[in-house]
Amino acid sequence: MESFVWETSIAASADDVFSLLADLRAYDRWLPNSTAYHGTLQISDEPIKVGTTYVEPGPFGTRHGTVTSLIRPGELDFEQPMTMKPRFMGTIGIQLFHRIAVEGETVRLMRRLELSFHGPVRFLKSPIIRAFMKENDRMMKALKAFAEGERRPPSFANPASGA
């Protein structure tokens, strides 16, 4: 298993940051689509709760996600294994863990990504990890910019990425 951590300070309330992460239907308010991220569909519950399911289609596979932990405003976790295209390539196990902690006038967002590779896709691990790193960097920057008051998705020189 591969594990990666991103951390950032955000000048917003813990509840606001949590709400942005938890509102799966409204990610398009702050996270522009990319090569890797095409939106979140088929969300089973509103509002989300532990056990809520969703689908995130992408060019390299489809993520079938489940909310695994939800404790407002400090903890939000997802499990979203991705079935590769074509299917015989296998799956990538994806787990996302978010921790939000108040630090004076700001909050600290920690996002941990755990990846496990099953099937032939494991032979492509290095470029896939690079793509996930790029996409998670993009997501954290977009969330921070929006939460701190920019109420439109930030434009990036190259918004396409490949996770």
Q: With the CA atoms of 41, 45, 97 and 1 taken in that order, what torsion angle do they form, in degrees rounded to the nearest 10?
A: -60
Per the structure block, which two tokens stand in for 150? 């920019």
pLDDT value of position 99: 99
58-78, pLDDT tens digit by residue? 889 999 999 999 999 999 999
pLDDT band at residue 160, thresholds of 50, 70 and 90? very low
Alpha carbon distance 39, 28 (integer Å)? 7
96-147, pLDDT tens digit by residue? 999 999 999 999 999 999 999 999 999 999 999 999 999 999 999 999 999 9
Residue appearing with tokens 């509103």: 46
Inter-residue contact 70 to 49 (CB < 8 Å) = yes
Alpha carbon distance 64, 160 (integer Å)? 22
Alpha carbon distance 30, 54 (integer Å)? 19
Q: What are phi and psi for residue 45, nearest 5 degrees? A: -135, 150
pLDDT value of position 34: 81
Per the structure block, which two tokens stand in for 104? 């004076």
Q: What homologous superfamily does CATH list for 2-147?
A: START domain (3.30.530.20)
pLDDT band at residue 4, thresholds of 50, 70 and 90? very high
Inter-residue contact 70 to 57 (CB < 8 Å) = no
- Percent of the chain residues topping a pLDDT of 90: 77
Per the structure block, which two tokens stand in for 95? 């787990």
Task: Give me the residue spans of the domains in the chain.
Answer: 2-147
